[in-house]
Chains A and B, each alone.
Chain A
Amino acid sequence: MTQDGYHISAEEATDALRGRNADLFRKIYTAYSEELFLLAYRWVKDNDLAKEVVQSLFVHLWEKGQQITITGNVRHYLYRAVTNRSINELKRRSRNVSEEALQWQADDASLHEITDHLLLQKEIMRLVQGLAPRCREIFLLSRFDGLEPAQIAERLGITLNTVYFQLAMALKYLRTHLLDGKKLQ
């Protein structure tokens, strides 16, 4: 799952920042901004703020690029940076910082684990668009809106069995398509 087709080395990234190479900078943004947004959202639980955290990180990278040296894995460097920024923003706004965010150990194991999780979420968000409309509606009500199957049945005026059936169809679809992706790699 950690394979995503982007291979940007630490040297390449550092050069991009030092030399203000807009093309390469854009490549970095295109490769990582979405998962960084998902990671920021995980900590701040706020769409607009999560986006702001990601954007301000890239503004910082561009403006202070002369003084920045990226070592190791670019993705992991960015994950740490976005996590620190998220925590700082929450503190600055006197919002609650979750234990999970504070305890998050940026060691290799947890970095790999969280990468898998974020890429999976990215895939889910993409694949959901391919579900049949009714199936997608039910899946979204369940997952994004957090409704119980009984509430969905009531809201849409359908039977509970239909809700279960559609949710199962959605899961099956996601799993099949994710497996197809794995085989390709």
Chain B
Amino acid sequence: MNNNDVTEFVMDCLTDPGNRDKQAALNKWLQESEENRHLYAELKQLWQAAADVPPVSFNVQEGWQELSVQIAPPAPVKRMFPWKIVAAAAVLLLLVAGGRWWQTSRDGWITYTTPAYYVDSIGLPDGSRIYMKAGSSLTYRRSFKEREVRLLQGEAYFDVVPDPQRQFLVVADRSTVKVLGTAFNVRIDSAYTEVIVFEGKVSLHSGGKKLVLNSGNGNLATVNRKDDEMKHPEGDYSNKCAWATNELVFENEEAEYVAKVISAHYHISIINIAENLRHKRITLRLHNTPQDEAIDIFSAVLGE
């Protein structure tokens, strides 16, 4: 085996510990030489160390900025809610963990790109909040006199503060979403721009056409990036926003489907369901529920 094959072979064994054939082959290989044992130990150590690192990395600079607000003498900070004040100060400083800010002139466009491997959120000057998936990028004017955000790539969920005087625009590729105050999700991939309304309503404009979307049934629309063709299928797609809202709602859905969505949301292997219960219809709501609790609730509802 050359070096590449060896790493692949070890990889195969590490990810499939239950496979007896592979483990037997591994043992045989380990017995061949001290060098093999050493290599295996190193790779295994790396593999395991990578498994229990936190999903978000620690930003030392940002941490220090926050800390220096707290320890700055004389401390004008009220001691009652120190953490909230620190959080607010951090937003003012426009420091965000790991992500990248780009800014040109005084009222130039500010571009924010999330790090490659985690969800992040930013607060806008008007109080609205945007949740962004890993590797997403958006831009807006520093002053934010006009409430306009351009989604450049990826997926973002917008929780917009109502303001009847100023509508809020999200421009994604050739489509524009207009709202007054509501919550919705916008995603761009190579072929489509997709909008899902979680709360309230928005109007979607693309290629001279306009479509009003309400939350609930029919809350999703896609626009083909090539020819601006709009599609507006039946169904409530709110659960697709769960990555940002932490809310999953199922009404009269098949247990098998519910299990699949819950598993995907918590990034766990598919929950097994007894054969006779797979098509049972269940209704269930999970809001900010920790994984273990969610599984308990699901099995309780399933057993009713």
**Chain A residues in contact with chain B, CB under 8 A?**
20, 26, 29-30, 33-34, 37-38, 41-42, 47, 50-52, 54-55, 58-59, 62-63, 117, 120-121, 124-125, 128-129, 133, 136-137, 139-140, 142-149, 151, 164-165, 167-169, 171-172, 174-175, 178
Contact = CB atoms under 8 A, between A and B. Distances in A.
11 contacts: A30-B60, A37-B58, A38-B58, A51-B63, A62-B71, A117-B49, A120-B45, A124-B46, A136-B117, A144-B55, A144-B117
Nearest to B39: A175
Contacts of B51: 143, 146
A158 to B, nearest CB: 15
Contact of B43 (A41, A117, A144, A171): A171
B52 A42 contact: yes
Contact of B54 (A50, A139, A145): A50
Contact of A29 (B16, B63, B82, B267): B63
B99 to A, nearest CB: 13
Given A58-B67, A145-B267, A146-B267, A164 B46 contact: no
Interface of B: 3-4, 7-8, 10-12, 15-16, 42-43, 45-47, 49-58, 60, 63-64, 66-67, 70-71, 73, 82-83, 86, 116-117, 267-269
Contacts of A164: 8, 11-12, 15
Contacts, number: 115
A54 to B, nearest CB: 7
B88 to A, nearest CB: 15
A168 B7 contact: yes
Chain B interface SS verdict (over half): helix
Nearest to B47: A171
B11 A168 contact: yes
Given A33-B64, A37-B54, 5 more contacts: A30-B64, A120-B46, A121-B52, A164-B15, A175-B43
A52 B87 CA distance: 11
A59 B70 contact: yes
Contacts of A167: 11, 15
Nearest to B59: A34
Contact of B49 (A34, A47, A121, A137): A121
Contacts of A133: 116
A174 B7 CA distance: 12
Contacts of A145: 267
Greatest chain A CB density within 10 A among B43, B58, B66 is at B58
Contacts of A37: 54, 58, 63
B11 A125 contact: no
A63 B57 CA distance: 27
Given A51-B63, A136-B116, A171-B7, A33 B58 contact: yes
A62 B69 CA distance: 12
A168 B46 contact: no
Contacts of B11: 164, 167-168, 171
B56 A47 contact: yes
Contacts of B66: 55
B269 to A, nearest CB: 6
Minimum-distance CB pairs A-B, first 3:
A37-B58, A168-B8, A168-B7
Contact of B71 (A38, A59, A143, A148): A59
Contacts of A168: 4, 7-8, 10-11
A42 B8 CA distance: 29
A64 B11 CA distance: 49
B63 A175 contact: no
Given A146-B267, A174-B46, A54 B63 contact: yes
Nearest to A149: B15
B46 A148 contact: no
A50 B53 CA distance: 12
A38 B55 CA distance: 11
A47 B55 contact: yes
A144 B42 CA distance: 19
A137 B116 CA distance: 8
Greatest chain B CB density within 10 A among A63, A168, A178 is at A168
